[in-house]
Structure 1
């Protein structure tokens, strides 16, 4: 039998707010929120300090609501340069202990310390790492220690801030199973609702449910959460995962070269719709939209637009892609078109500068998009197509239905030199 694995999940506590407090010591101990358009008291809360959370401030809530819950709330706008720098310093510190470090976001990562704990115990190493991060970067963190990724992630969430938690497989029934299913890493709100309707309320219920039932109701994801709930997770800590790309895009080769703007807009509309659905399916937003144009002579150009706020709706993606088309198309016949969402951020960390009315509008759009997505996933691409999307049912439309599509799922900025071991 091989040596038992020892994995850490290092999770920075209230990262953005903690970084701001590190730069401004007078913010220490105060209720602090990071939100867009803070000067005008608009936007939504990206993250909040634990002092703010104790007063009812929980992201992602509208800033007006946060101020109502906590009138003394201190608000700062996001400073991503600061956060990237702090993240780089944190990961460089982790690399001093083992080369087996896998960053999974700007403020968390896994470490495989199986062969790095000969001089000190895992708990001693975790304490040293935590103390160094606090002393050298003035940032709080929590560390989960377990034999696999899932359990390490669950362990790091159990004690915040500044917690160190060991979670062994033999402790799962006592420590994990009584928890509500929504508290399980990998189960979101929609899945939790589906489980609830199946009479599955706790992680223990998931663990003891029929695998066939979960597979039938939830697909492959059902089998995965069943394994996780039983403490099974064979994923290795992969330092090279950081080098994978992270973007979501679709491209299509046209049945015939064209300069017809109406046809082009219809294609870009459909590509934008597909990208939007895939973004929503993965609960991510795109901060950058890229348009690919391949001309009749196979010359290919790609142009991108950095957005003022992360987007997820078909309309926002189409608007950005169409602006790129109008600006960069040279007038020649087009052979291929592609739309890609880049600079992806998770739903919980995306922020947008908006007032109450825009917030309500986005919320409605998100819920409406979810309904449309379900219908299209069930009945196909043509379900609920609008005006110029639907067009006429002629020979060219039949050909378009058979267009070859290309997709890509790529990693975020973690692939940059920012997180490479030096």
Structure 2
């Protein structure tokens, strides 16, 4: 018998931004595939008409329907009052809770086995208010913004986050690093349930072979993503690997900065800016690359690493970020310290000069992803956790 689950998340896909909260939607799809009913409440701040004329952000929010269906999942977007950050922004959880409560009474009129809220604040405080009134257990997923920003914003926000930690029936963190940060801060342990990928999306054709090794990055082009470190590392590697190529898929505001760096270092013949590509072409590039390198300094998770790993391509990430813990040094990938170009050169050179070892690392990485980080597996992990929570505190108790 399937559960009736209520998701609460202020981020969820919609026509204005199909990528917003996409991993949360995929969790909902994974649960539905296992026979559970999932209803989404994606609260949005009230967007007064005058603001929509002054800001694209507020205009987009205004155009989001109050109720809609996204790939067969029922979504409701009640509006709630939000005050400017300097004027009691820590009250957002209270206003969000009121708007959701009104919606539940007016529209859904369902009973739920469990509330799964996908952000510690303000969503978490709203979910706990509702859970107490509905006598329904609450599982809270903490995101990077909760732990790295909101928790340290000021005393009021810190108090809200710690309240959610204490009162939730279970805490979930999407990466091993976030789990460690939460544990180190106040001793709150959590269940690590990551994001996933669809194995059927991987490229299964013949990889494209190039004359020399190919380093690949797939990312929005932002300064914190570490692409400049790859470019500087390439300068050191090019004399040893004359036909080496660095391919960059993606676009963003730092594109011109990276292109200028490539030009100033005389690396134009080695670097290809490919822009945004269709998913199938990205997967083919993942399968064809020698190494995937994204030494990002700010990464909550990073699905692109998993997408590279599922193709057997060894991946490099920064220690303490995103998939550190999934990527284990010289076991399922390579770890480098943030900003350490010399360490990055060493890691790249190790993989390029030891193709047999690189292949073994890539194969172990692929096994790790297939065993633990497909959306089917994520659905199983969520179901197991829900079952444990509900057994301890059944709805209505």
TM range (shorter): 0.3 to 0.5
* Greater relative contact order (CA < 8 Å, ≥ 6 in sequence): 1
Q: Structure 1 length as normaliser, TM-score?
A: 0.31
Q: Structure 2 length as normaliser, TM-score?
A: 0.32
* Higher relative strand content: 1
